[in-house]
Structure 1
Amino acid sequence: MKSFQELGIIDPLQRAIEEIGFENPMPVQEAVIPYLIGEDIDLIALAQTGTGKTAAFGLPLLQKIAVCNIAPNSKSPAALVLSPTRELCLQITNDLISYSKYLDKISVVPVYGGASIEVQIKSLKRGVSVVVATPGRLVDLLNRGAITLQDTHTVVLDEADEMLNMGFMESLNEILSHVPDERHMLLFSATMPKEIGSIAKSYMHNFKEIVVGSRNTANANIKHQYYLVAARHKYLALKRIVDYYPEVYGIVFCRTRAETQDIADKLIQDGYNADALHGELSQAQRDYVMQKFRIGHIRLLIATDVAARGLDVDNLTHVIHYGLPDEAESYTHRSGRTARAGRTGLSIAICHSREKSKIKNIEKVIGREIERQFLPNGMQVCEKQLYNLANRIENEVPEENSEGIEAIMPGIIRKLDWIEREDLIRRIVSMEFSKLLDYYRTTPEIDEADLRGRIPHEKGEGKRDRKNARAEEGMKRLRINFGKSDKLFPDKLIELVNRCCPGTRIKIGKIDLFARFAFFDVEENEADTVINSMNDYEVGGRLINVEYANEDSGREEGRRRKSGRNGKREFRDRDFSFAPPRNSRKDRKKRADKKGSKKGDKKKPFYEKFSK
């Protein structure tokens, strides 16, 4: 790996970038800089977002202006940098100003929409070396005669693919018509759509193309995953994913402004450290939100694709797609927000069944597999949170100036000295996570798609989900004739099984809930006991039916409903409530055979009505 000095960067620029923290050139910088500090050429560079493209074109650009001693011009800048959004415009401007810290007579001015055009015109009149602009505002300034491009020798299109996606082709043609024919063009992009090829043919001459990595491929340091859930459960899935990663610091991408604000409002209401970023916010509001996110006061930024452009945060851990974008290139741009500067990151997509085809298209474009994942259950989430708390406590080092704490510690120790160590830890954990534990104790399960991408629902449910009749090794899969429509949740199913089987604690494995029935695993040697015991009881006049799960389970359920054997459905209340049973199935059969007989009236109560 070469150093910046070996690449030919002059001392004032080296000094400035060393203070910023640059040590060695990144791959795109090492590939591009030698060409740009030599003869003037047209160049196309393809590299992923966050790989150091600004320095790749910014350092040679500033060096040529300084070496050629080009003074700031009040009429026409020496160089023009075009960016798709005002956020990226400001980011590039700040970077160029930082690089040119020790260069004399270098002036960099940003011009973009959403700010006072009069103030920007005054800045241009004072003289400018480099203008960094969004296309719309620059066209406005050209039409007003506030700027000319007749002396501009270099034009840079940064994030060119995104500019085209945002519909700036007409504005680009207008701007480039004002630039001299002998100018040079540098085009930087993460992907290479057809439109970029048309720009190259129309406005570039004998251009050099440099590809860092492979065309349109994703950053190798990003791990890609997706979850397939029912559309109505996408927000619940988002919460569960965020809870499962306690140290999450990332962006949640939404498709529309309304959805962005809605999701942000829900997360804030549920106690998450989140905020929204979209086009309906004023520039002052956008700057305020982004500043809070940059310094870590916001851990989750809910944003649209356009609003997140130019957000320069190097240590994001996650990018979450709250639904996949229509274009695979947009997925690449989104994912590139994480795993920057050599770090690793995780890109997670929350999809519904109709979006499954998009997964295959994106995999073809990025050349990577997107792994299917299944949502963690409540116990796994709580375990992850608790271990994170333990790690925070373990790694917490008291500050040196903590005399105030030391002064009151003896009193605190005496106050809590009577509590046993394990009991004290248990109390701390309970205080920290009581709300989280209560939430996952009562929350319903989230519908996830089967291997074919289908979400279970009432019609044809038993037929679709016979594959759920497979149990883990050493376990037997059983089927019960109660389900979600009866408000049966995992915790209440576990309690029901153990109430019906007194004297022993039944170990229950995987639980799959559907609308009218449920599957659950028990140890093989306890399966017969569970079936025999539970089938002696009824709930609210409806017989409990537990049997071994097999491929005929769905058809058998249909026959029972059709014959009316189970009687009327009575569970319309909010919670799954068990009324005390009247008698056993055996006695009920006797009464049916001998009408009016008083025999067999012995009751088998098992427990009182559930309450939330």
Structure 2
Amino acid sequence: MKTFEELGLSPEIRKAVEEMGYETPMPVQEEVIPYLLGENNDVVALAQTGTGKTAAFGLPLIQQIDVKNRVPQSLILCPTRELCLQIAGDLNDYSKYVDGLKVLPVYGGSSIDSQIKSLKRGVHIIVATPGRLLDLMERKTVSLSTIRNVVMDEADEMLNMGFTDSINAILADVPQERNTLLFSATMSPEIARISKNYLHNAKEITIGRKNEGTSNVKHVVYTVHAKDKYAALKRIVDFYPQIYGIIFCRTRKETQEIADKLMQEGYNADALHGELSQAQRDAVMQKFRIRNLQLLVATDVAARGLDVDDLTHVINYGLPDDTESYTHRSGRTGRAGKTGTSIAIINLREKGKMRAIERIIGKKFLPGEIPTGQQICEKQLIKVIDDLEKVEVNEEEIANFMPEIYRKLEWLSKEDLIKRMVSHEFNRFSEYYHNREDIQQPTTESRGERGSRGEGRGNREGGSRKAAPGFTRLFINLGKMDNFFPNELIGLLNSNTRGRIELGRIDLMKNFSFFEVEEKEAKNVIKALSRANWNGRRVSVEVAGEESSSEKKGGYKRKEGGKESSSASSSSRKDKAGKSTKQADSKKQKSSREERGYSSARGKQDDWKQFFKGDAPDFSEEGWAKRKPKKK
């Protein structure tokens, strides 16, 4: 193992680094520092958060600065304000003994005028978010013509956040003769494209394997029924009394709801999401950094760029849609040589996502068992004892109070006193879990798991898959051809319903979809969404497998024995112009409704007749799939 001196760092930088507690370089630093100290050396470094990357690029950048020439010489781009401030702070620490070196963080949410004034006074290193830097460039208040080194930190996250065009504009304004370093946790196609377009003969340095999770992180999965997710989260948190971690949620609404529940139940928790103002986000983060908060409940976007040391756990309240997000989540713990745990709380329908993540990170999730009430109480009791043992006693400060305290407690024996002190701290957990039933975890042989693998297809009721226990399966007349996906369904529910709607399985078809909601919410969801519109179309929602309102009103029945049974009134019905519905509909055969597919005709008897050409509708998924509008 090399030393910092052998890597070629100056005495001033080595002195600052040693004072910060660094004795030997980390692997990424050994690889990157010598290369960046050279000329025209471009690097693509694949490394997880917490592997020492800031020092890997920061130390050689500082050493290459000509302090006497007060113009921007190095540029560091990063995705968020939080990471921008963190990097700038670290660079100031590394350059403690380099007299006159100026580092300027440039980010949105802060006064642009003060940043312009600092630029006019002269800086050597700019650490910036792409949006604010582009704003300064457009105002002609910053020049990048003197930049010799460019670093893109967490480049994959910048691209995911939509900064591609901004990065292209910024790099086009930087001299071609420069060193460029691209840091990313994963090698995505977009990262490869940026590397090809803007880096020259770049050296690829990989710490671990490509896209692999941090080696110090253990991955554990708890599989539960969807309705038990919050209860499982609560038990997991209670089972780890010393937990200091982030709970990741999918949406802002879910994030706030989970945080509110935890706070109401006495946990030191708070929410971090995009609807908070910058001042609110800063206040939450400050409380979390100084450990006034034990749990931070956050969305992926809000948590990007957070640099908090010593996290013991990351909890995924459901898995993200893309595996790269999971890599970033789990990389928040197990940093700087320490160990951490990444927990996923999933239902059976998320097993496919879990397996995809396992392939990417090259590790298996360890199956976890939800702690019982007795196990939790035992853990909490031990914590109370440990805390009592670690209490520091200041004899002088309490001496004047002790005689009165002895007098009040003298009637208690030592055993009684210990019992009362323990119970004072412990009763909340013992009362909550007393006689409370343990959470039943689904087995891999359960019906839900077979269904998720596509087995048991004969198990249908009224043409639909059986809903999970406690859930109702609903039909909606929107599908993939309408660009209708899980996020769109969640958005539709959020904008048309009140309170939290627990979703179960979602099955997306070409022209329609099925989804599950809790039984108690089914009627409310049907009523709320049936008044909604989607991109100008009327939304239709009903219980899957039941006769639709169009069938009941129009007199249509299911196909029986290959023949269709229909009421006389429906077959003879005329439109207002005196023409039969078949004639009226034939003139609309090339309408946009037909182009969108038969699901958009749901709810009108005349449309059924036109689209299905005399065949009564079959509500099974196979029946839907076979139905196509017949062209004249």
Common fold: TM-score over 0.5: yes
Amino acid at match of 2:80: T
Percent identical pairs in the alignment equals 60
Query: Aligned residue for 1:355?
Result: 350
After superposition, give the CA deviation of every residue in 1:431-481 in whole Å (9 maximum; x if it has no partner).
22222211112544434221246565599xxxxxxxxxxxxxxxxxxxxxx
1:416 to 388, 406, 409: 409
Q: Tell me the distance in 2 between the aligned counterparts of 1:452 and 1:121.
A: 63
- Deviation sequence 1:25-75 (CA, Å, 0-9, x none): 11111111111113330011111110110100000011011xxx254545x
Change (3 A) 1:208 1:458: closer
Q: Provide Cα deviations, 1:480-506, integer angstroms capped at 9, x if missing partner.
A: xxxxxxxxxxxxxxxxxxxxxxxxxxx
Q: CA deviation at 1:397?
A: 3.5
SS at match of 1:338: coil
Residue 388 of structure 1 corresponds to 383
Decide which of 200, 203, 207 is 2:202's aligned counterpart.
207
| 2:330 is the counterpart of 1:339 | no
1:448 aligns with 2:457: no
2:318 to 323, 326, 332: 323
Per the TM alignment, residue 248 of structure 1 is displaced from its structure 2 partner at its CA by 0.6
2:269 counterpart (274, 281, 288): 274
Moved more, 413-422 or 292-301: 413-422
1:21 is matched by which residue type in structure 2?
G
Indicate conservation of the 8 Å contact 1:141/1:147, yes or no: yes
- In the alignment, residue 327 of structure 1 is paired with which amino acid? D
Matches within 5 A, 1:88-237: 88-237=83-232
Change over 3 Å in CA distance of 1:453–1:312 after alignment to 2: farther
Partner of 1:51: 51
Give the whole-Å Cα distance in 1 for the aligned partners of 2:186 and 2:130: 20
- 1:423-442 pair list within 5 angstroms: 423-442=416-435
CA distance in 2, matches of 1:21, 1:245: 29
8 Å contact kept, 1:82–1:156: yes
5 Å-filtered alignment, 1:440-479, equals 440-452=433-445
The residue that corresponds to 1:34 in the other structure is 34
Shift of 1:111: 1.0
Amino acid at match of 1:354: R
Corresponding residue number in structure 2 for 1:244: 239
Distance 1:112 1:203 in 2: 23
The answer to whether the 8 A contact 1:353-1:453 is kept is: no
Secondary structure at the aligned position of 1:232 is classed as helix
Return the offset for 1:101: 1.5
CA distance in 2: counterparts of 1:278 and 1:78, whole angstroms: 35
* DSSP-derived class of the 1:312 partner: coil
Cα distance in 2 between the residues matched to 1:190 and 1:124: 31
Deviations 1:57-104 (A, max 9, x none): 000011011xxx254545xx1111000111111111111111111112
For residue 312 of structure 1, what is the aligned residue in structure 2?
A: 307
1:346 offset after TM fit, Å? 0.9
Cα distance change, pair 299–157 in 1 and its aligned pair in 2 (3 A): same
Contact 1:109 1:130 in 2 (8 A): yes
One-letter code of the match for 2:413? E
Change in 2 beyond 3 A, CA 1:36/1:458: closer
| Matches of 1:272 and 1:40, distance apart in 2 | 52
SS of 1:186's equivalent in the other structure is: strand
Aligned position for 2:291: 296
1:265 alignment counterpart: 260
CA offsets 1:367-413 (integer angstroms, 9 cap, x no match): 11101112111111111100111122223332xx4313234334434
* 1:403 matched to 2:403: no
C-alpha contact 1:319 1:334 (8 A) present in aligned 2: yes
Q: Give the distance between the partners of 2:409 and 2:447, measured in 1 at CA.
A: 54
Q: What's the Cα RMSD here?
A: 1.8
Relative to 1, partners in 2 of residues 1:453 and 1:307: Cα closer, same or farther, differing over 3 Å? farther
What is the TM-score normalised by the length of structure 2?
0.69
Aligned AA (2:379)? K
Q: Contact between 1:89 and 1:112, CA under 8 Å: does it hold in 2?
A: yes
Name the CA distance, whole Å, in 2 between partners of 1:96 and 1:134: 16
Tell me the amino acid that sits aligned with residue 258 of structure 2: I
Aligned counterparts of 1:329 and 1:413: Cα–Cα separation in 2? 60
Structure 2 residues without counterparts, runs of 5 or longer? 449-468, 473-632
- Which amino acid in the other structure matches residue 122 of structure 2? G
User: Any unmatched runs of 5+ in structure 1?
Assistant: 460-612
| Separation of aligned partners in 1, 2:68 and 2:414 | 72
Once residues 27 and 2 of structure 2 are traced to their aligned partners in structure 1, the CA distance between those partners, rounded to angstroms, is 10
Residue 610 of structure 2: aligned partner: none
Determine if contact 2:212/2:361 at 8 Å carries over to the other structure: yes
Letter in 1 for 2:398: I
Counterparts of 1:452 and 1:354 in 2: how far apart (Å)? 13
**Does residue 369 in structure 1 map to residue 364 in structure 2?**
yes
What's the counterpart of residue 605 of structure 2? none
Aligned to 1:582: none
Tell me the secondary structure at the aligned position of residue 449 of structure 1.
coil
- 1:17 Cα shift? 1.6
Contact 1:275 1:302 in 2 (8 A): yes
Matches of 2:31 and 2:446 in 1, distance apart? Answer: 43
Q: What is the aligned residue count?
A: 452
Question: Are the equivalent residues in 2 in contact too, given 1:228–1:453 (CA < 8 A)?
Answer: no
- Partner SS, residue 301 of structure 1: strand
- For the pair 1:83 / 2:84, whether they are aligned, the reply is no
Moved more, 14-23 or 126-135: 14-23
- State the distance in 1 between where 2:163 and 2:440 align: 41
Separation in structure 1 between the aligned mates of residue 342 and residue 357 of structure 2, nearest angstrom: 13
